[in-house]
Amino acid sequence: MYNNKLFRSVTNTANGEVSGDTLFHYHQQDQLVWAEYAGGAIVKGFLIATVLDDYSLDMRYQHVNKQNELMTGQCHSVPERLPDGRLRLHESWQWTSGDRSSGESIVDEVPA
């Protein structure tokens, strides 16, 4: 479902660092999902997740931003199938570093 898909942020709360300039490259093997991401305020990031029974993702992420800060967090992503067949992920996340604030974002699959 997630393997070899590219995603880009379409919305994020102000306390997030992901933007429309951030590109995620997802991989999947059975119930394990991982991705590399970079762009915008993020120099390099990685996430790892497990796929739950409803195809949502229980995720942990870490990245280094342009201020050379190591940031970490957790996220729950719920997939939606768009009319054109692409995936949209509705994400509820929380920093586990810094101010430990939380937020919501949406990332869409980039057309192949």
Pairing of strands 42-51, 32-39: antiparallel
Collect all residues with Cβ–Cβ distance below 8 Å to 9 and sequence separation of at least 6: 18, 19, 20, 22, 105, 106, 107
- The 10s digit of each residue's pLDDT in 4-46 is 999 999 999 999 999 999 999 999 999 999 999 999 999 999 9
Q: What is the mean pLDDT of residues 47-57?
A: 98
> How sure is the predictor about 112, in pLDDT bands with cuts at 50, 70 and 90?
confident
Residue 92, helix vs strand vs coil: strand
Q: Topology of domain 6-104, per CATH?
A: Lipocalin (2.40.128)
Is pTM beyond 0.85? Reply is yes
> How sure is the predictor about 97, in pLDDT bands with cuts at 50, 70 and 90?
very high
So where are the chain's domains? 6-104
